Amino acid sequence: MPESRWRLLVTSPLDGATNMALDEAILQARIHEIAPPTLRFFSWDPPTISLGYGQRLDAINVEACRQFSVGLVRRPTGGSAIYHDTLEREVTYSVVARGGDFDGSGDLLETYRWIGAGLTAGLRRLGVPAEMVPVKPSDPSAMPTFCFARTGSYEVEVGGKKLVGSAQRRQGGAFLQHGSVLLGADVARLCLLFPQEGDPLAGMTTLEEALGRRPTFDEVIEALAAGLRETHGLDLRPGDLTRDEESLMDRLIREKYATEAWTLNAQTVADVSSIAASSP
């Protein structure tokens, strides 16, 4: 029978390297079955651009990042760049699970659908008329720099505009999916950070636009957790990181996510993601 007991983590605002290292540490712990399937909600300090795993840096205005003290990190997942604002304007989520943790968890599209259904239910609890977009083929040659300008399989939209941008990595029979829910948007800053994109809001929307008000971070994560809990019958219980996860997170920060080799060129440090080194 699929696992119904999940760990719920709500972490304080963290920098980009720590957020990505934490997500990967949770993934490795789930691969080795030393931590439960996990739903995490988090935010960013400072505001940060996260690049997709294989994305080139030249489409980002790096000078504007320096000017506005915007961090830069490369995700372990694919897709295009996302500007992660502070908790006043964004809720970021991650889901980590193994094959068998829920029906369909071994299939890429089914996991997108499963998570999207829970997120959609949560957004509707807030009064947002959200819906999932059916599978659409993508054209890699036409992929824009800014993630919210793309539409993919089982994306969450309002009125034909993307509200949630998500990306996934699968490894060792498990997966990590993380994504962003925009509470609001700093349009002027987006235009400076992504100068090649024209109007960055052309195909996207925010909760502020959809509701006529901007909900709080806590309000949104409560609704999203409830949506996933009720849609899938999850036993979501607040938890903490294990010592193994904390140890691997610290190592991943030092040797991977905080290094220029990784951020600028996606060069991987051998064996840095192995949790075995920190396990008793």
Give per-residue pLDDT as tens, 125-171: 999 999 998 755 454 444 444 444 344 478 899 999 999 988 899 99
pLDDT in the model for residue 186: 92
The yes-or-no answer on residue 191 being catalytic is no
Cβ–Cβ under 8 Å, residues 10 and 87: no
pLDDT in the model for residue 15: 98
pLDDT in the model for residue 81: 87
For the stretch 24-49, what's the b/e string if a residue is b when 16 or more beta carbons lie within 10 angstroms of its beta carbon? bbbbbbbbbeebbbbbbbbbbbebbb
Class of domain 5-278: alpha beta
Give per-residue pLDDT as tens, 104-125: 999 988 999 999 999 999 999 9
Cα-Cα-Cα-Cα torsion 190, 164, 212, 223, nearest 10 degrees, comes to -140
Rounded (5°) CA angle 171-169-195: 155
On average, the pLDDT of the chain sits at: 88
Q: Which amino acid is at 219?
A: E
How many other CB atoms sit within 10 Å of the CB of residue 12? 8
CA distance 256 to 126: 38
Spatial CB neighbours of 215, under 8 Å, sequence gap ≥ 6: 126, 183, 207
Give burial (CB, 10 Å; 0-12/13-18/19+) of 142: exposed
- Could you tell me the pLDDT band of residue 53, with boundaries at 50, 70 and 90? confident
Q: Of the residues 8, 130, 147, 156, which is catalytic?
A: 147
